Structure 1
Amino acid sequence: MQVRGAVVRAVGDKWTAETLELADPGPGEVRIKVMASGLCHSDDHIVTGDSVVDLPFVGGHEGAGIIDAVGPGVTRVQVGDHVATAYLPMCGTCTWCAQGMQYICDNGRDVQTGFMLDGTPRFFFSDGTPCGAMQRLGTFANYLVTSQEQCVKIDDDIPFEIACLVACGVTTGWGAAVNGAAVRPRETVIVMGVGGVGINAVQGARHAGAMHIVAVDPVEFKRESALRFGATHAFSSIAEAMPFVHSVTNGQGADAAIVTVGRVDGAIIGEAFSAIRKEGRCAVVSIGSHEPGIEVNPLELVVYAKTLRGVLFGNSNPSHDIPKLLSYYKSGHLNLADLVTRTYTVEQVNEAYEDMHAGRNLRGVLVHEH
């Protein structure tokens, strides 16, 4: 079938809205009628080259829609189900899934190709040339084919513009605080960068019972937004934040620091690491430049017994955590509606990323036409 989607063909290019051919779902695969997609910074990273993938790609990995068709052997969902996508698969049987670590499922291998696990594409250009898909999804297209392992059934009464947010940004940010940084009641927590992921790290830290949630971002709109979403204080830099942090921690430093900036480098991670106390936790979510390396003093790491860890997909179990977060939303314990700053069409994807870079959005959402 023919579909409409936003494609990037080479590093440094703009997104282009194109008509593509979509193959039918194979064994264990489903076709999703995509209704909405979050415009996540991770997709921009393939444009800038911070994430190396085998371009060209249909963008998008933060989606919600309706199961439109199923291939042989599909058991997890059925036609008509409303689903959120999971940008990493959940096979349920590998070593990691069996230990409750779906975020590092073995079936996440080779996602940089954009092809299915069998090595074949589902998107094609009009001349028959194959096109990969971001995280084997491609939610910037109004239909996609993916594995049933990347679908999570959700309640039918949740708006798609809301549901798509838990497919990446909300789950990643929330999990960065609750799982990655292991925030506990009465703690002091720093969140560096309060965009689409960091704003949900703020919400996760509040849910976990943190006493002081310190948002750090150079953009005034994001600092103001962080205070509305549960931050207790907001500063434009770590240097500005640390006098307050020291004043409430007897000079020790924060219990945890969560790095959710749009583009990270080793110096930023080093700042966060230095801001935490003895036995403090530094959780890094962001990706970006590989150089310079992380500026961490080995003596400080050992003598102060600090922890530095990476966080992928909020270190979550999407099959459980996505429905849980949506239940929090429905019960009024998680603010998702106010995350959506603006909606866009597929032809406006470049404008959406201009708005993101300018700091005008917490999260832009692409709403598809059919």
Structure 2
Amino acid sequence: MKVRAAVLRNPGAVAPYSNSRPLSIETVELDPPGRGEIMIRIRAAGLCHSDLSVIDGSRPRIMPMVMGHEGAGEVVECGPDVVGLRPGDLVVLSFVPSCGHCGPCASGRPALCEPGAGSNTAGTLLTGSRRWHLNDGSSANHHLGVSAFAEMAVVSARSAIKVDSSLRPEIAALFGCAVLTGVGAAVNTAQIRPGESAAVFGLGGVGLAAVLGAKAAGANPLIAVDVLQSKLDAALELGATSAINARDHDVVAAIRDMTGGGVHHAIETVGSEAVLAQAYSVTCRGGTTVTAGLPHPHRMFSVPAVSLVAEERTVKGSYMGSAVPSRDIPRYIDLYRAGLLPVDRLLTHRLRLDDINEAFDRLSKGAAIRQIVEFD
């Protein structure tokens, strides 16, 4: 099948991307689904900083690659041995396919699925297969088993979570990464309890979703930190009790002063080891620092080792919000419909596939929260 898709061949292009155009919109060949796989008509796909990290080269991936990892779409065909899905179903796509059998999956931590991580690194589906072919006949790689920047995609059925078909696709897509990661960082990884204090560093889609999750969990005070006033204003509108512009203030001193010694939970979503160090510095004795950002693999983070013992401090990584997608995505959708997670307010721009390079310029400048590519 011939479909249009956004293909990345050479990471590290120089912004503005409207000029360098790292993503080329090409007509590529998509194979039918194999065993345990489904074909999806992509209805909506979100632009995430993790995509930008691949485009700018700070998150190395195998090339060439059909990009996009946050999406929702309609099942159009099921391969052999697919259970629980059928054509016409609306699904949200998870960017870690879970095998269901490895050690992490068996212990309830599918975000750490070992075969899923291996296939994502290799640019394949969970079976080890590639279903994309470029015009010269060569294979292209899958981005995190999803490749949502395309009219159609073949994914592992283990990457798809069925949701109510009445949910608008552009909202459904947000639950695949921004909401799953941000809300999950607050409620699954940090495990914020009512009345505990929290600070969120970085207010992109994931960071603002963490603000929503922290608010829903009952965090108070809830402090938002960023360098852009527009993002700080958005955080206040979404429930943060105060906001600090890191360009204008000593963030560590300000938060420790506001809270009488530090917050119970600090969540870092920037992907910067320097910001992570700030987040650690603002937690109180016995506090927890959660990092959901993805810095370059060579970056290192250090803390005063004695504080881990003498102050019983904790540092926790949060990948995909420590989520169980089949459990958490439906729960978060229910909270959205109940008015407790207004994730629709994260959506700031809608665009067509042909405008995707310009949209990544907006993302790189911090001029957007969540942008959605919409397909007919």
TM range (shorter): over 0.9
Match of 2:368 in 1: 361
- Aligned equivalent of 1:171: 180
The Cα offsets for residues 226-283 of structure 1, whole Å up to 9 and x where unpaired, read as 0111111111129544455334433x2111110011x41x222111111111111000
Match of 1:284 among 274, 285, 291: 291
What TM-score does the superposition give when structure 1 sets the normalisation length? 0.95
CA distance in 2, matches of 1:69, 1:177: 36
In the alignment, is residue 25 of structure 1 matched against residue 33 of structure 2? yes
CA-to-aligned-CA distance 1:63-107 (integer Å, 9 cap, x gap) = 101001010111021111110001111233332222221111223
TM-fit CA distance, 1:291: 4.7
Distance 1:317 1:25, change over 3 A: same
- Aligned: 1:327 with 2:327: no
Gaps of 5+ in 1: none
Aligned residues: 366
Within the alignment, does 1:115 sit opposite 2:124 as a pair?
yes
In 1, distance between residues paired with 2:202 and 2:25? 30
Determine whether 1:318 maps to 2:325: yes
Which residue, out of 62, 71, 89, partners 2:70? 62
Cα shift readout 1:158-196 (whole Å, capped 9, x = no counterpart): 000000000011110001111111211111111000110
SS at match of 1:136: coil
Q: Please, which of 246, 260, 263 is the counterpart of residue 237 of structure 1?
A: 246
**Identity percentage of aligned residues:** 36
Residue 246 in 1 paired to residue 253 in 2?
Answer: no
Report the equivalent of 1:200. Answer: 209
Do residues 104 (structure 1) and 112 (structure 2) align?
Answer: yes
Contact 1:187–1:212 (CA<8 Å) still a contact in 2?
yes
RMSD: 1.4
Maintained 8 Å contact 1:188/1:245: no
Structure 1 runs of 4+ with >6 Å offset: none
Residues 32-71 of structure 1, C-alpha deviations (whole Å, 9 max, x = no match) = 0000001011111111222221111111111101001010
Q: Secondary structure at the match of 2:294?
A: coil
Distance 2:343 2:187 in 1: 17
CA deviation string 1:319-340 (max 9, x = no partner): 0101111111112111122111
Cα distance between partner residues in 2 of 1:71 and 1:4: 22
Kept after mapping to 2: 8 A contact 1:189/1:256: yes
In the aligned structure 1, how far is the partner of 2:37 from the partner of 2:297?
35
- Contact 1:221 1:359 (8 Å CA) reproduced: no
Which segments of 5 or more consecutive residues in structure 2 lack a partner in the other structure? 14-21
Does the CA contact (< 8 Å) of 1:191 and 1:216 recur in 2? yes
User: Aligned ranges for residues 47-196 of structure 1 at < 5 Å?
Assistant: 47-108=55-116, 109-196=118-205
CA–CA distance in structure 2, aligned partners of residues 228 and 121 of structure 1: 43
Given that 2:291 and 2:318 are in contact with CA atoms closer than 8 Å, whether structure 1 keeps it comes out as yes
Cα distance in 1, alignment partners of residues 356 and 121 from structure 2: 21
